[in-house]
Structure 1
Amino acid sequence: MDHNVYLLATDPKNPCRDIIHSRDTRLKVRVFCLDEETFSPDDNEIQLYGYANGKLYAFETINIAADDALDLVDAIQWYAEYVEDPGMEIFPEDPRPGATYSDAKSN
């Protein structure tokens, strides 16, 4: 299969709490709206960041398996299309000025 199929679980009580699921692998990615909530990265997971429609998102894996790590960027690009911003740039670090891992952990 050339492309994974992704599904989205949404929380009706919190529109910023989406979870991307890969139908074809075990990959799961939690989505955070950094403009609206605090985020403390998990040392055991992979985090990537991106701006879409003027909002900053954090994407964090859930129980990542080595085989699924390669699909993470594809899942985020799929989400960018879902939120109608297919040109979203993906960042390996939090792009906010002064944001560091130690700052996030202290929140």
Structure 2
Amino acid sequence: MDHNVFLLATDPKDPCRDVIHSRDTELRVKVFCVSNENFAPDINEIQLYGYAKDKLYAFETINITPDDALDVVSAIQWYANYIHFPEMEILPEDPREGHELAM
């Protein structure tokens, strides 16, 4: 497929709990406002990070499948456009000090 369409589910009680859905695949990505809440990554999922203005976001897949893994970055880019910050740099690791993965 050349172009994936994404949809957004929002929590009216918490603006930092969006979920990005792919219309055409099983891809789901949770959005966390890491600047405002604790975030504990699930080791079975993919996590990526990005800053929009002064807010750090974490993006974590939900029940990721190999077929959907390539679309995660596209979903995050779509979300960055949605929040009017298309220049968001997508980071592979948590940029906060002391949150590096243990090797």
8 Å Cα contact 1:77-1:86 kept in structure 2:
yes
Q: Distance in 1 between matches of 2:45 and 2:28?
A: 11
* Structure 2 unaligned blocks of 5 or more: none
CA distance in structure 1 between the aligned counterparts of 2:92 and 2:76, rounded to whole angstroms: 12
Residue equivalent to 2:69: 69
Residue identity over aligned pairs, in percent, reads 72
Q: Deviations over 1:27-58 (max 9, x none)?
A: 00000000111011001100000001221000
SS of 2:8's equivalent in the other structure is strand
Q: CA deviation at 1:99?
A: 1.8
Alignment length (residue pairs) = 102
Partner-residue secondary structure (3-state), 1:50 = strand
Equivalent residue for 1:26? 26
Q: Which 4+ runs in 1 deviate beyond 2 A? A: none
CA–CA distance in structure 1, aligned partners of residues 30 and 20 of structure 2:
6
Q: 1:80, 1:49 → 2: CA distance?
A: 11
Q: TM-score, normalised by structure 2?
A: 0.95
The superposition leaves residues 38-93 of structure 1 with CA deviations (integer Å, 9 ceiling, x where unpaired) of: 01100110000000122100000000010000000000000000000001000110
User: Where does 1:42-61 land on structure 2 (aligned, <5 Å)?
Assistant: 42-61=42-61
Give the letter aligned to residue 93 of structure 2.
E
Taking structure 1 as the reference length, what is the TM-score of the superposition?
A: 0.91
Unaligned runs of 5+ in 1: 103-107
